[in-house]
């Protein structure tokens, strides 16, 4: 799976657990560390855990992918899942506002999610 498809899938999985303010930043022209950041906000520690579990479980079971590393702690309200070409930052709103990754990486283009076809 290419890195853009993985980033879009991670966004979708976070959305499955009602993550808020979902953003994908295309980092490919700005750094060699990763291709994409996926940013999402959780409203509480249990909410963050649910988002992390959704992403890690579905990628492991459905795509045989495991994070290279997981950094952060629940009390810090910021967890990073490292899938190599995709870094997923899951934060509480106050932490996200304080560190302002979107502002820090303001030159990074935002990736728009695919539109789902309406089911009738």
- Domains for the chain: give ranges and CATH numbers: 3-104 (3.30.460.10)
**pLDDT tens digits, 56-107:** 999 999 999 999 999 998 778 999 999 999 999 999 999 999 999 999 999 9
pTM tops 0.85: yes
State how far the Cα of 100 lies from the Cα of 65, in Å rounded to an integer: 28
Assign 119 a pLDDT band (cuts: 50, 70, 90): very low
Q: Distance between terminal CA atoms of the chain?
A: 30
Rg (CA), the chain: 14
Say yes or no to pLDDT of 53 above 90: yes
Assign 116 a pLDDT band (cuts: 50, 70, 90): low
């Amino acid at each position: 799976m290419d890195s853009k498809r993985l980033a879009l899938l991670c966004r979708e999985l976070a959305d499955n657990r009602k993550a808020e303010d979902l953003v994908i930043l295309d980092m490919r022209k700005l750094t060699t560390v990763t291709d994409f950041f996926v940013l999402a906000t959780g409203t509480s520690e249990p909410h963050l855990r649910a988002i992390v579990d959704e992403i890690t479980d579905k990628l492991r079971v459905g795509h045989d992918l495991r994070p290279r590393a997981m950094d952060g702690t629940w009390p810090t309200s910021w967890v990073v899942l490292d899938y190599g070409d995709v870094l997923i930052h899951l934060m509480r709103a106050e932490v996200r506002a304080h560190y302002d990754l979107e502002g820090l990486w303001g030159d990074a283009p935002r990736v728009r999610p695919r539109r789902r076809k309406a089911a009738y």
